[in-house]
Amino acid sequence: MIVHSTQAEAAIRGVGKPRGFWATLWKQRQLVVLSLPVLFVLVFSYFPLWGWLIAFQNYRPSNKIGFFQQEWVGLRQFAELFADPKFFRALRNSLGIGALKIICSYFFTLLLAVLVNEIRVSWFKRSVQTISYLPHFVSWVVAANLIFVSLSPEGGILNEILQRLGITSSPIAFMGLPNAFWLIAALSEVWKSAGYGAIVYLAVMTSIDPSLYESADMDGAGRIRKIFAITLPSITPTIKIMLVLSIGRLLSVGFEQIYILMTPSTIDTATTLEVYIYTFAMKLALYSKGAAMSIFNSVVSVVLIVLSNTFAKLLDGEGIM
């Protein structure tokens, strides 16, 4: 009878469905939980974007002036930016270091993964893997100190070796060589990330069907042949995905690494966009110019992602987006 009256009430109110709000909510609880990550992205990645507004102001943080009372200058910050030759130098350095890093990381990560995959003694394989991915957990500050010490012209191990072997007559201050900076940045990145990056490939390699190798054995294929005919083709989709992802991050060269490794001698080749943004926003307190530059940075990154995805599609008709 209670049921009847509820139904009647519902009918009077004109509610068509028998279920209430909370019931629906409970029924769709999985959907609600699933929407949380989306919310997270909205709140932490998109909501702060309103701060981009300061790129169109001559912003100065102050208790005296409210945000919207700041001086609005339109596109002046951008105009000044594009008129600045140092900006293009920073862009060049970002692209250069980024590209070199991707090339070196790819080559060495793949090489490491393939080599480790070929090791048959399992304890040795495991220890190589562990040792090679340990540097990933070392902070850049510590890593930079190691690099400075080993490349030092005063008793650095590399200079010692070069001199003992008679290759150079006097020690070289590697960290002070403007032309060596890109390479040092790329190779130190390899040292730090190759082992960790190789884990992904190794995981894919373990899922390759062993019967492929067995049949290749029967056909008389050697190790090298098997690597090129079976291992590498099997991980190609992974390589492609990783490439597209990393090209999108091409401009995010890695602020700490560059900032810590750069010295006054290498300002010319080491000032990447990120370092340049930092100089403006945090050292000269020109926040608006820093914001303008970081907008530019984001736009270029989006363009790069779209381009690399298109490129991947062109290669074999499937992208990741």
Partner 1 sequence: MSLKRTTSLFLAVLLLIAVAVSGCTPAPTDTTTAAATTAAATTAAATTAAEAATTAAEAATTAAAATTTAAAAAEAAAPAASGGFDRTPASLKMLYLYNSATTYDPWRDTAVGKALAELTKVDLEMEFLVGADARQKASLLIAAGEYPDLLSTGESSGDFYGAGALIPLDSYLDTLPNFNDCYTDSYYKLMTQEDGHIYWISYQHATENRVYPAAGYYLSMDALKENDYPVVTDFDEWQRIIIDYKKAHPDFNGQPTIGFTVPTEAVRASAIEYGGSRFLAGYQNDGLTIVEPETLEAKIIMNQDFQKEFVHMMFNFWNEGVADPEMFMQTDDQYNAKIASGRVVGLYDQRWAIVNGLAALETTAPERMLLAFPVTFKGVERERYQGARNFTGGQGIGISSSAKDPDRVAQFLSDLCSEEAQILLRWGIEGEDYSVAADGTHEKSVEQWQSYSVQETRHQRGIELMTWFNLYPNLKELPGCKTLPNPQLTQGYIENVYKPFELEFLSHYADRGYTTFSSWFAPTYDAEYEVGWSIRQRIDPQNPAKIAGDTALEISLEYIPKMVQAGTEEKFEQLWQEFCGVLDTLPLKEYEVLATQMIRDSTQFYK
78, 191, 255, 311: which one binds partner 1 (CB under 8 A): 255
Rounded-to-integer distance, Cα 98 and Cα 55, Å: 25
Q: CB within 8 A of 273, min separation 6: which ones?
A: 90, 91, 93, 94, 251, 253, 293, 296, 297
Q: DSSP letter for 71, please.
A: P
CB closer to partner 1, 158 vs 229: 158
Confirm or reject binding of residue 161 to partner 1 (CB under 8 A).
Answer: no
Q: If binding is defined by CB under 8 A, does position 321 make contact with partner 1?
A: no
Judged by CB under 8 A, does residue 219 bind partner 1? no
157 part of the interface to partner 1, by CB under 8 A: no
- Binding-residue total with partner 1 (CB under 8 A): 56
Closest CA to 57 of 256, 286, 307: 286
Which one, of 251, 260, 266, 228, lies nearest residue 298 by Cα?
251
Comparing CB distances to partner 1, the nearer of 186 and 286 is 286
Interface pattern 110-139 for partner 1 (x via CB under 8 A):
-----------------------------x
Region binding partner 1 by CB under 8 A among candidate stretches 98-106, 118-126, 222-230, 284-292: 284-292
- What gap in Å lies between CA 249 and CA 242, rounded to an integer? 11
Does 287 sit near partner 1 (CB under 8 A)? Answer: yes
Does residue 260 belong to the site contacting partner 1 (CB under 8 A)? Answer: yes
Q: How many CA atoms lie within 13 A of 95 on its CB side?
A: 10
Minimum Å gap between C-beta 32 and partner 1 is 6
Q: What is the Cα 152 distance to its own chain's centre?
A: 29
Name 57's bridge partners: 72
Phi, psi for 58 (deg, rounded to 5): -105, 80
Quick one: 70 or 132, whose CB is closer to partner 1? 70
CA distance 171 to 261: 19
Instruction: Single out the segment in contact with partner 1 by CB under 8 A; choices: 105-113, 117-125, 228-236, 283-291.
Output: 283-291
* By CB under 8 A, residue 13 contacts partner 1: no
**Residue 107 interacting with partner 1 (CB under 8 A):** no
- Residue 272 within binding range of partner 1, rule CB under 8 A: no
What is the Cα–Cα distance from 134 to 148, expressed in whole angstroms? 19
The pair of structure tokens assigned to 273 is 């966009």
Binding to partner 1 (CB under 8 A): which residues in 34-73?
Answer: 35, 38-39, 42-43, 47-48, 50-51, 58, 60-64, 66-67
Asked if residues 296 and 81 have their Cβ atoms less than 8 Å apart, the reply is yes
How many whole angstroms separate alpha carbon 253 and alpha carbon 30? 38
Residues that bind partner 1 (CB under 8 A): 17, 21, 24-25, 28, 31-32, 35, 38-39, 42-43, 47-48, 50-51, 58, 60-64, 66-67, 139-141, 148, 152-155, 171, 173, 175-176, 178, 255-256, 259-260, 263-268, 278-279, 281-287
